[in-house]
Amino acid sequence: MSFFSKSPWILHYDGSSCNGCDIEVLACLTPLYDVERFGVLNTGNPKHADILLVTGSVNERNIEIVENLYRQMPDPKVVVAVGACACSGGIFARAYNIQGGIDKVIPVDVYVPGCAARPESIIDGVVQGIAALEAKRKKTA
Amino acid sequence: MTSLIAFLIGFPILVGAVLLLVTRASLRNPIVLVSSVAVAAASVATVVTFGNGDGVFFGLPGGIVPGQALIAVEIAMTAFIVVIGLMNRRIAAPIMAVAQLAIALFLEVTGRMPDADPQRLFWFDRLSMVMVLVIGLIGTLICVNAIGYMHDYHRSNPMIKGRRNVFFSLLFIFLAGMFGLVTCNYLPMMLVFWEITTLCSFLLIGYTRTPETIGYAFKALNMNLLGGLGFGLAIALLADQHLGLDLARLTASPASGTLLAAVALLAFAGITKSAQMPFSSWLIGAMYAPSPTSALLHSSTMVKAGVFLLLRLSPAMSGSTVGYLVTFVGLGTFLFVSLVAVTEQNTKKVLAYSTIGSLGLIGACAGIGTPELAWVGVMIIIFHALAKGLLFLVVGTIENRLYTKDIENFDTLLSRLPKVSVLALTGIAGMFIAPFGIVVAKWAAIRAFLQVPGGQGAAMIVIMAFGSSLTIFYWGKLLIKVLSMRSVGEYERSIERRVSRYEWLTEGALAFGVIAVTACIGIISDRVVGPYALSAFPTAGSHTFLNIEPAMLVVMLVAVLFLPLLAVWASTRKYDASDFYSSGRNANASHVMGAALGGSKSVTLRNYYLDGVVNGALMFRVGTLACGGILVAMIAVGMVVR
Amino acid sequence: MSPAVYGVLFVFLAPVFGGLLAGVDRRVSARMQGRIGPPLLQPFYDFGKLIQKQARQVNPVVEPLLLGHVFFMAVTGALLLSGTDLIFIAFVFALAALFLVLAAGSVNSPYSFAGAERELIVLLASEPFFILMMAGICKVTGASTYAGVLASPQLVAVQLPGVLLAFLLVATIKLRKSPFDISTSHHPHQELVSGLTTDMSGRMLAYVELAHWYESALLCAFMVLLFNWSVPLGLVVFAIAYALEVLVDNSTSRAKWQLVLRSTWAATLIFSGGNVLALFLLSR
C-alpha cells in the first residue's frame, strides 16, 4: 500500500519570479482552498519533501541552488513547474540573465501554465504530480 | 598487612628519591614503569590479604610510635614552606605553616599530646580498601600515562624548562602520601600525610614555573594549609578527650560537645582539600598544570582525600546541625559549580567544575550520615575516579594532538580522532549515563533526601533537581562536539597515529575499568560497599540499599555501551549519503560558503553558553559567598553549641 | 495483570495513542484556523509515506542515535508502567531526549546544530520540573512505583497544585507547542527551517515522529499519575489540557530561548519548588 497519495509534502521554491504565482501557492494553504485536507504540507526543507513546486524561472545565480535542492530531495520525487516563468521563462524569457524555464536545469514532471496560475490549476497540477509520484514509486519498488 | 602498608608508603618515597636523581629519560621511563607495576601489584596484594572483612587495626613493626619522627617531618616541611614562600614573596603560606607547627609543638612540649596506641596507628577497612585500589591502580596508570604525555608536552612547549625528574618524583611521593592518608588512624600521623599531599600538589601545580602557575600553586597551598590548620586545631581540641587521637573512636557514633567541635574543624579541612566552595578556585587553577597532574589531583588522589575524610566523619556528623550544614556546603557547591560549568569554554575547566560538583555531592551525602548515603558516596568515588581520570587523560591526549583546549575546537572528533573518541565517549558515558555512576548516585541521593524532615529536605531536592539538569547540559554539549562528523583529509587522519602507546595503554585500561565496574556493580555493592556502609553506622538499624531491578540494569548497561560501540562501528556503516541542507548553497570542505553579492563567509558552529541568562563569574562569586557563609556557620555551630 | 504486561502494552499501544492524538491535534488546529484540516489518521499516513521514502543521511551516526532515541523513549514508558522507581524514570526520560540532541547535533550543519543546541536548552529548562514532580509524588504518597501511587489513598493533584500548574507549562515544551517550540516544530517554516529535523529524511523522520508519539503517551501517563485516584479523570484532564495547548499553540508566536529558560525555571522553582517545600514543612 502506498501512502504517497495520502501524504504528499511540498517544497516551494521561488526562482526569479514576480511573486504572483507564490501568492497563489500560498493561497492554496488558506481556508479558502485548504490543501491540508489532502495531507499536503508545505515543508521548507528538501529532505522532507516529495514534490518540488517551482515558481519563477532560472537565472545565472539560482542554477546551482535549484540543482542542490533537487539533489537533496530523497526519492521518489517529482517537480511541478508553476506559472509561465517556470514553464518557459514567461515574459522574461529574453532577459539577459534568464536562462529559461526550470526544465533547463532539472527534469519537470508537470507544467502548470498561467500568469499567475490560479490556485485551482495549481492544485490540479499537484494532483497530477502525485500521480506521477506514485508511478515513480511503482517503478522503483 | 603491616609490611604491605609499609611497602605502599615507603616504596614510592624511595622511588621518588631515586627519580629525583635520574635525568635521562631512557633510564627514568623503565623505572617509572616498573615501579608503577610494583605499586599496583602491592595494592592488589594488600586488598587480597585484607580479604574484605571488617576493619583491622595495626601498628608499626616492633610497636614503635612515631612521635618524634612526625615532629621532625613537620619541622622540615614548615621550613621548606617558609623558605619557598619568602623566596616568592608570599607571606600567608609561611604564617599558616608556622602556626600549624606551633600548635603541634605546643601540644608536644606541654605534654598534652597523648600517647598513641601502638596497635592502633593504622586502620584498614573496606573504605581504605576501595581507596587503596583507586590510588594504586588509577594513580599508577596516570604515572605511566605521564611518560608519553610529558614527552609530547615538552616538545610542544619548548619554553618550559624540563624538570621531569622532579615531576615524576613528585608523582610517586604523592602516591605515598595518599596511601598513608587513607590507612591512618592516628590523627597527628594522618595530618603529616595530609600535608605531604598539600606540598606535592603545590609543587606539581607550579611545575611550569610561569608567573601564572606560581600564583595558582600558592593559592592551592594557602587554601590547603588553612585546612591543615583546622586539622591541627581539631587535634588540639581532642588532645584531652581521652580518645587517644584515634579516628575510629572519634567517628564510631554521633558526636557532641567538644568532639563535635573537633569534627566540624576536621570537616573544614576535608572541605578545603576537596575544593568545595568557597575553596574551589585552587582546583580551577590546577588546570594549568600538565594533564597528568590534573588527572592525579582531581580524580584519584588529592581531592579524594578530602571527601574520604568527610566520609569517615559521616557517622559522627549524623543527624546534627553541623552535618546538615556540611550537606548544604556540598549541595551549594554542586549547584553553583554546575551553573559556572555551563558557561565555560575550556574543556579542562569544565572537567574540573564537574569534579568539584561530584565532590560536593559526596560531601552532601557524608553530611547527612545514613548508610544509604554513605553507600552513594563510596559509589561516586569509585566511578568518578575511573571516569574522570580517563577523561582528563583523554583530554590531555586530544590537546597534545589538536593543540587546543577550547571545546569549540573539539568538534568532529569522531571524524578526526576516531579511536580516541571511543575512549572519550566511554568516559563521558561513565560520568553521567552509567548506572551507579552519577545518575544512580543522584537518584539514591534524592531518595534519601525524601526522608530528611522539614524544609531542609525540600531545599536539598530542589538543588539536586536544578544541579542535575545543568550537568546534562554541559555534558550534552561536549557529547555533541565529540559525535559530530565531517569528511577528513589524509593528513588529518594521520594525526591519530602519533598518540603514544603509553597513552593508548593507560586510557584503554581505564575505559575497560569503567565498563567492567559498571557490569560488576551488583557484586561491588553487595560485597564491599554495602557491608562498609552498614558497619560504619552500627546504630542505624537494618537497611536495604537501592533496589536495582534487572530491567534497569540492562537498560543502563545498554546506555553506557551505546555511544562507544557506535563510535567503533560508525565508520563501516553503509548509508545513502547526502549533503546537509544549507539553503541550497553549501559550504565547501574548508567550511566556506558563498554569501550575498558574490562574497564568501566561513561557517562556524558555536555552542550556547547561556550568555545573558547565566553569568558564570557572578555565579562563582555568589557560590563562594554562600558556601563560605554556610561554612562559617558550621564551624560556629560546632564550636558554640556544645 | 502483572505490571510487566502493562509495560509491554505501552510499547505497542502508545504509538497508536500518540498518532491519534496528533491527528486530533491537526484537525482541531485547522478548525481553529477556519479550515477543515486533514483526516484523523493523517499522522499514520505520513508515517507510512516516510517509511517508504529514501533515507538520505549526512553521516553514519544519525540513524543509530535516532533508533536509540526511540528505544529509550519506549523503554521509559515501559519501565514506568511496569513498576520501576519513579525518580529513576525522570532520569531515563532525560536520557531519551538527549539521544535526539546527539543525533541532530552530529550533523555539523547550521540548522541542525542550532536545533540540537536549542533542544538541549529546552531539556535544561524542563528537566528540573520532572525530577521535582516525581519527588513530590513520592513524598505525598510514600510510594515509589506507578501502581503504588495509583493505589495510594493520598490525592496527589490536591496536594501538589503547584506541580500541576508547572506541568502545564512544561508540557508545552515537551509537546512542541508554541511559544516554546524553539528547536523544531510541526509547523512548517521556522527560523531554523526544520530545526532539529532539518537533515533527517525518510524513515529517520518517521523515528522522530514515533518517539514523539511515545512522549505524548508518557505525558498522558504522568497526568494520570497526578490524578491518581481516578484514571478516567486523569485522562479527561489530559484531554482538556491538550486542547488548551492547541489553543495556546495557535494563538502565540515563538519565544526566544532566554524567555523559555527563564520562565520555565521560574515556574519550576516557584510553583513546583514552593509546593514541595510546603509539603515538607507541613508533613512533620
C-alpha cell at B577: 549519503
**Residue C215 vs residue B10, higher pLDDT:** C215
The maximal CA–CA distance of chain C, rounded, in angstroms, is: 61
Looking at residue C190, what is its pLDDT?
Answer: 66
C-alpha cell at B503: 597513552
pLDDT digits (tens, 9 = 90+) for B459-509: 999 999 999 899 889 888 888 888 887 777 777 778 888 887 888 888 888
Q: Which residue has the cell 502565540?
A: C252
Q: Percent of chain C beyond pLDDT 70? A: 98
Looking at residue B436, what is its pLDDT?
Answer: 46
Looking at residue B543, what is its pLDDT?
Answer: 60
Band of residue B334 on the pLDDT scale cut at 50, 70, 90: very high
Q: Answer yes or no: is pLDDT of B258 > 50.
A: yes
Q: Which residues of B touch A69 (CB under 8 A)?
A: 584
- Contact yes or no for C48 and A3 at CB 8 A: yes
CA dihedral of residues B557, B562, B563, B564 (deg, nearest 10): 80
pLDDT digits (tens, 9 = 90+) for C211-257: 999 999 999 999 999 999 999 999 999 999 999 999 998 898 888 89
Q: What does the alpha-carbon distance between residue C75 and residue B450 come to, in Å, rounded to a whole number?
A: 26
Q: Percent of chain B beyond pLDDT 70? A: 95
Looking at residue B368, what is its pLDDT?
Answer: 87
Q: What does the alpha-carbon distance between residue B238 and residue B258 come to, in Å, rounded to a whole number?
A: 8
pLDDT, average across residues A106-117: 94
Q: Which residues of A touch B586 (CB under 8 A)?
A: 68
Q: From its phi and psi, is residue A19 left (phi > 0), alpha (psi between -120 and 50) or beta?
A: left
Band of residue B346 on the pLDDT scale cut at 50, 70, 90: confident
Q: Round the average pLDDT of chain B to a whole number and report it.
A: 84
Q: What does the alpha-carbon distance between residue C149 and residue C152 come to, in Å, rounded to a whole number?
A: 5
CA dihedral of residues B104, B108, B112, B117 (deg, nearest 10): 90
Q: Answer yes or no: is pLDDT of B547 > 80.
A: no
Q: Which residues of A touch B576 (CB under 8 A)?
A: 74
- Those of residues 35-74 in C touching chain B at CB distance below 8 A are 54-61, 63-65, 68, 71-72
Counted residue by residue, chain C has a size of 284
Distance from CA of A108 to the nearest CA of C (A): 20
pLDDT digits (tens, 9 = 90+) for C9-45: 999 999 999 999 999 999 999 999 888 889 999 999 9
Q: Which residue has the cell 552509567?
A: B434
> Residue A11: in which H helix or E strand, if any?
strand A9-14
**Which of B585, B588, B597 has the highest number of chain A CBs within 10 A, making it the mutation to test binding with A?**
B585
Across A49-53, B379-383, B579-583, least confident range: B579-583
The C-alpha angle B460, B466, B469, rounded to 5 degrees, equals: 130
- Contact yes or no for A37 and C37 at CB 8 A: yes
In this structure, are residues B417 and B488 in contact, taking their beta carbons and an 8 Å threshold? no
Q: Answer yes or no: is pLDDT of B102 > 80.
A: yes
Q: Which residue has the cell 592518608?
A: B181
**3-state secondary structure labels for all residues of C150-163:** HHCCCCHHHHCHHH
Residue C131 contacts B where some CB pair is shorter than 8 Å: yes
In this structure, are residues B338 and B471 in contact, taking their beta carbons and an 8 Å threshold? yes
C-alpha cell at C111: 540548522
- Minimal-distance CA residue of chain B relative to C53: B576
CATH class of this structure's domain A9-140: alpha beta
Domain ranges, ordered by start, for chain B: 2-574+614-641
Query: Coil, strand or helix: which one is B483?
Result: helix
In this structure, are residues A122 and A24 in contact, taking their beta carbons and an 8 Å threshold? yes
Amino acid at B148: G
pLDDT, average across residues B387-395: 86
**Which of C35, C47, C107 has the highest number of chain A CBs within 10 A, making it the mutation to test binding with A?**
C35
Counted residue by residue, chain A has a size of 141
Residue A67 contacts C where some CB pair is shorter than 8 Å: no
Q: Which residue has the cell 625528574?
A: B165
DSSP-derived pairing of the beta strands A51-55 and C56-57: unpaired
Q: Which residues contact B512 (CB under 8 A, 6 or more apart)?
A: none
Band of residue B541 on the pLDDT scale cut at 50, 70, 90: low
CB-based burial label for C12 (10 Å; 0-12, 13-18, 19+): exposed
pLDDT digits (tens, 9 = 90+) for C130-189: 999 999 999 999 888 899 999 989 898 999 999 999 999 999 989 888 888 888 876 665
Q: Which residues of B touch C60 (CB under 8 A)?
A: 485, 570-571, 573, 575
Backbone angles phi, psi at B573, to 5 degrees: -75, 140
Q: Which of C35, C54, C194 sits opposite A48 (nearest CB)?
A: C194
- Minimal-distance CA residue of chain A relative to C51: A3
pTM of structure: 0.91
For chain A, list the contacting chains (3+ Cβ pairs, <8 Å): B, C
For chain C, list the contacting chains (3+ Cβ pairs, <8 Å): A, B
Residue A44 contacts C where some CB pair is shorter than 8 Å: yes
In this structure, are residues B429 and C260 in contact, taking their beta carbons and an 8 Å threshold? no
Across B351-365, B557-571, C240-254, least confident range: B557-571
Distance from CA of B584 to the nearest CA of A (A): 5
In this structure, are residues B455 and B415 in contact, taking their beta carbons and an 8 Å threshold? no
- Contact yes or no for A50 and C53 at CB 8 A: yes
- Contact yes or no for B476 and C101 at CB 8 A: yes
Q: Which residues contact C169 (CB under 8 A, 6 or more apart)?
A: C263, C264, C267
Complex prediction ipTM: 0.92
pLDDT, average across residues B623-628: 92
- Those of residues 39-98 in A touching chain B at CB distance below 8 A are 45-47, 62, 64-66, 68-69, 71-72, 74
Q: Which residues contact B312 (CB under 8 A, 6 or more apart)?
A: B127, B247, B251
DSSP one-letter string for B550-592: HHHHHHHHHHHHHHHHHHHHHTT---EE-PPPSTT----TTSE
Looking at residue B434, what is its pLDDT?
Answer: 58
Across A99-108, B259-268, C178-187, C193-202, least confident range: C178-187
- Minimal-distance CA residue of chain B relative to A62: B584
- Contact yes or no for B576 and A74 at CB 8 A: yes
Q: What does the alpha-carbon distance between residue B592 and residue B603 come to, in Å, rounded to a whole number?
A: 6
In this structure, are residues A51 and A41 in contact, taking their beta carbons and an 8 Å threshold? no
- Minimal-distance CA residue of chain A relative to C56: A74
Distance from CA of A35 to the nearest CA of B (A): 25
Q: What is the separation of C-alpha B78 from the centre of its chain, rounded to a whole number of angstroms? A: 26
Q: What does the alpha-carbon distance between residue B469 and residue B437 come to, in Å, rounded to a whole number?
A: 15
pLDDT digits (tens, 9 = 90+) for B195-217: 999 998 898 888 888 888 888 88
pLDDT, average across residues B25-38: 86
- Contact yes or no for C39 and A39 at CB 8 A: yes
Q: Answer yes or no: is pLDDT of B120 > 50.
A: yes
- Those of residues 566-585 in B touching chain A at CB distance below 8 A are 576, 578-579, 581, 583-585
- Contact yes or no for C52 and A3 at CB 8 A: yes
| B91 HSE (CA, 13 A, CB side) | 0
